[in-house]
Homo-oligomer: A and B are copies of this chain.
Amino acid sequence: MGLKSSEKRTRRRPKQRRAVETVNAVLDTVIRILKREGFAALTTNRIAEVAGVSIGSLYQYFPDKQAIFAALHKRHIDEIDHLLAATLMEHAGSPLDRLMRALVEAMVDAHTQDPELYELLAATVPHRAAGTRDFAIRLHGAFLHAISSRLKKPKKRRELEKTAFIVTHMVESLSHGVVLRRPPGLSLAEAKEEAARAVLAYLRA
């Protein structure tokens, strides 16, 4: 691997459709290998082999192995980003409780597929990375706005910031916990509902 910050030599960007497919095949393959064979088996040559492309093709679009991780992480963040934006849009007129339930639902669904994978990615790609920070800031802003516009008694900016910070993390981490660490005997639906209730309890206090 290589988690150091390195020169960002930009490689060729895919122009034709087949090139885009190559890039996607690579990223999908990384996920598949991580799930089926584990972190240790994730070598550049194996990625190329399983993806059905040559190792040379891989290096046409990724300057080094670490860049593949970054791209994968970005793809995941973008997914979540769109999902949350859509949920916020869809519930623009909904009251707070409906919105929060929907947000928890969306986050849980987004992580139900490969929760462990994205935990590993989140830990592997540092928080300072450009995309990660931007995402966190946008998320925080979106929550702040959503909450602010639904409060009966307006809060001070500073209080709002605190509230948004807590709510953002509650939604994110509880969703994560619901998927990944829910004890046996507790259904997904129940866990989701309880997580939403926790968020709402805080917001109403």
Contacts and interface: CB of A to CB of B under 8 A. Distances in A.
Interface of A: 1-4, 38-41, 116, 119-120, 122-124, 126-127, 136, 140, 161-163, 165-166, 169-170, 173-174, 176-177, 180-183, 185-186, 190-191, 194-195, 197-198, 200-202, 204-205
A183 B202 contact: no
B165 A183 contact: yes
Contacts of A2: 40
If over half of A's interface residues share one DSSP class (helix, strand or loop), that class is named, otherwise mixed; here it is helix
Contacts of A120: 123-124
A185 B198 contact: no
A165 B186 contact: yes
Q: Lowest 7 CB-CB distances: which A-B pairs, in order?
A: A173-B173, A123-B123, A201-B205, A169-B177, A2-B40, A3-B39, A198-B202
A182 B162 CA distance: 9
B173 A185 contact: no
A173 B177 contact: yes
Contacts of A119: 122-123
A174 B166 contact: yes
Nearest to A185: B161
A136 B180 CA distance: 12
A127 B181 contact: yes
Contacts of A126: 116
